[in-house]
Amino acid sequence: MRGLPRNGRPRLKKLVRIGTLNVGTLSGKSREVADLMKRRKIQILCLQETRWKGEKAKEIGEGVKLFYKGEDGRKNGVGIAISESVKDSVSAVQRISDRIMSVRIDTKEGSWTVVSVYAPQTGCPDKEKDDFYEALDDVIRSVPEDDFLTIAGDLNGHVGTDRRGVERVHGGRGVGSKNGDGERILDLAVAHDLAICSTFFAKRESQKMTYSSGGRKTEVDHILVRRRALKTVRDVKVLPIEDVATQHRPLVADLNVILPPKVKSPKKKYQDGIGPVTGEC
């Protein structure tokens, strides 16, 4: 038996890999990011602590296009690197601050908004954290309800293993105990019905640690999706440490998303909050 005729077979969705990585600084490392994406088959990589000043888009090698936002070359900065197979599907870019930016991608099932985030560290003032989460809350509210939504980044918080009261957004497979900044993540997740993806997948604790410094290992990087779309997430895992980042390991999620076929098109210019217009970046 040969199975169903080609025209009668159910169409399988292609897995798209999205990731997040705090690079410490992107200076002198952009080509390494492109190489990492090619080797690890990552189509979309959210970057934090890029420390690149400005609001631009540039090709960084291997067909990868990087959209970035930075206000100070000495700290913060976020970016979203898009592989050659996906970059022509980017329809809009929003650069909110040096801690939050997003891209909107056309898929065959609708639009996909990807947000790269870099939350203030534990020792930062509460006012700075409040401002960050208020801005992120505004961004999420601005995303159309029928968009597929992914938030990925260094959220600098521990969500722990205790899921009491937050069972819908926390799968119970976190690491250690939650802290105050983890509570902020959970509050955001509950407010917008976002699943913290890694907590729904069983992995060895060593395979969940995204950050290592001075012998201390923790899980501070996270990927979130709308809870109703959790079924599209096929796997979440931490990859081995890369030379491009000395303290953080890449966190990736494999998603069932149908992207349009790659087509040749004119180069595109993007501005905050609007779609592409013809021209050079």
What's the pLDDT tens digit per position in 143-170? 999 999 999 999 999 999 999 999 999 9
173 lies in some domain: yes
pTM (2 d.p.): 0.90
Does some domain include residue 102? Answer: yes
Question: What is the number of structural domains in the chain?
Answer: 1
**Is residue 4, in this structure, part of any structural domain at all?**
no
Tell me what pLDDT residue 253 has.
98
With 70 as the cut, is the pLDDT of residue 11 above it? no
The pLDDT > 90 percentage for the chain reads 81
| pLDDT tens figures, 52-94 | 999 999 999 999 999 999 998 899 999 999 999 999 999 999 9
Q: Which domain holds residue 33?
A: 14-261
Report the alpha-carbon distance of residue 236 to residue 67 in Å, rounded: 24
Q: Is residue 278 part of a domain?
A: no
Is there a domain that residue 77 lies in?
Answer: yes
pLDDT of the residue at 9: 40
In a domain, 1, yes or no: no
Per-residue confidence (pLDDT) for residue 280, from 0 to 100: 31
Tell me the CA end-to-end span of the chain in Å, nearest whole number: 53
| Cα 200 from Cα 170, distance rounded (Å) | 7
In 153-187, which positions are buried (b, 16+ CB within 10 angstroms) versus exposed (e)? bbbbbbbbeebeebeebbbebbbbebbebbebbbe
Q: What are phi and psi of 181, to 5 degrees?
A: -70, -30
Q: Any bridge partners for residue 107, and if so which?
A: 110
> Helix, strand, or coil here: 114?
strand
Looking at the domain assignment, is residue 28 inside a domain? Answer: yes
What would the pLDDT profile of 205-248 be if each residue is shown by its tens digit?
Answer: 988 999 998 889 999 999 999 999 999 999 999 999 999 999 99
Within-domain flag for 46 = yes
Q: Residue 73 has what pLDDT? A: 86
Assign residue 224 the CATH number of its domain. 3.60.10.10
Q: For the chain, give the percent of residues with pLDDT over 70.
A: 88
Mean pLDDT is lowest, of 74-83, 133-142, 220-229, 270-279, for 270-279
Per-residue model confidence (pLDDT) at position 146: 95
CB 232 within 8 A of CB 58: no
Q: CA-to-CA distance for 247 and 219, rounded, in angstroms?
A: 12
- Residue 215 is predicted with a pLDDT of 85
CA gap 42, 250 in Å, rounded: 10
From CA 140, how far away is CA 117, in angstroms rounded? 12
Query: Looking at the chain, how many residues does it have?
Result: 281
